[in-house]
Amino acid sequence: MSVGSQQKTAVATNQSQASQAEQGIRKLWIEFKQDTNNQELRNQLMEHYLPLVRYSAERLWSRLPDGVELDDLISAGVFGLMDAIDAFDLQRGVKFETYCSTRVRGAMLDELRSMDWVPRLVRSKATKLKTASASLVTKLGRQPNENELADQMRLSKGELEQMIRDANAINLVSLDKRKWRDDGYKEVREIDVIENKRSVSPVQREHKNDLIRLVTKGLNRNERLILILYYYEQMTMKEIGNTLSLSESRVSQMHSSIVRRLKTQLTERRTEFAA
């Protein structure tokens, strides 16, 4: 048998199988519509059309931020599929795949709206602001100011400022939102990686300690304490005098003497610091 004949035979076989599958699913639909309480028939239909749900979920999920789980969309789509199976009318002459895709996608969008804490009106305002700003950037070649943006949107400056405040709400991020998965498949949340502005890095702490050791080298106990208390603990001369049982004027004299010596020492080591 020639290659061409083999290809024709394969095409004919595939067409025959597809026709048989279509007839089988048609028969399944007829049986289900005659007995809509038959869970076995419903499950067979669900299993047959389940790939459509996953396909729709993956297409929608690819355009969503990382915080949305694909499994959540699929679960919502399954409920949409169930509703579509119950509501589908065989007599209308419409393919179920066409009818089903709209219902499934609608169920997924409803799930996304229920997960989104930001009202739809706020989302709409943010979209309008973004569109108007992008249009002005294209026209002006730069970022527009508030007056230009207000004129573009036909709003007063006060109304524009209120819209900007409302739209900024969408920039808030939940601390429970998943950031990424590490190599051990452990979920890392936003709160796990948020920067603590009050913390001091170990490197900065060691640099500070090295500097303290450098500037206090060769000083006696009281002289070291005066530098540390005055520059690092932010104490006044009077407070330092009370701590060391010295007068305020004596502390001031010692401080001036220490500073002069340190200037001389640091000047001599200037090339070392430059390196």
Q: Encode 192-242 in three state secondary structure.
A: HHCCCCCCCCHHHHHHHHHHHHHHCCCCCHHHHHHHHHHHHCCCCHHHHHH
Q: Whole-angstrom Cα distance, residue 109 to residue 113?
A: 6
Count CA atoms within 13 Å of residue 88 on its CB side: 28
What is the per-residue pLDDT for 10? 45
Residues 191, 196, 198, CA angle at the centre, nearest 5°? Answer: 155
What is the per-residue pLDDT for 207? 78
Q: Whole-angstrom Cα distance, residue 125 to residue 87?
A: 36
Q: Whole-angstrom Cα distance, residue 107 to residue 57?
A: 10
Could you give all domains of the chain from N- to C-terminal order, each with its CATH number?
Answer: 3-115 (1.10.1740.10), 120-173 (1.10.10), 202-274 (1.10.10.10)
What is the per-residue pLDDT for 53? 92
What is the per-residue pLDDT for 55? 92
Q: What is the pLDDT of residues 213-272, one digit of tens each?
A: 777 777 888 888 888 888 888 899 999 999 888 899 999 999 998 888 888 877 776 666
What is the per-residue pLDDT for 253? 92
Tell me the Cα Rg of the chain. 36
Handedness of CA 200, 203, 204, 209 (dihedral sign): positive
Question: Which residues share a beta bridge with 188?
Answer: 180
Handedness of CA 147, 153, 157, 161 (dihedral sign): negative
What is the per-residue pLDDT for 264? 82
Q: What is the pLDDT of residues 4-56, one digit of tens each?
A: 555 555 444 455 555 666 787 888 888 888 888 888 888 888 999 999 999 99
Q: Tokens 């001036």 correspond to what residue?
A: 256
Tokens standing for 105?
A: 């996608």
Which residues, in sequence order, are CB contacts of 102 under 8 Å at separation 6+?
Answer: none
Q: Whole-angstrom Cα distance, residue 81 to residue 215?
A: 75
Tokens standing for 70?
A: 């694909």
Q: What is the pLDDT of residues 168-212, one digit of tens each?
A: 765 555 555 555 555 555 566 666 666 666 766 788 788 777 777
Q: Tokens 């409302």 correspond to what residue?
A: 166
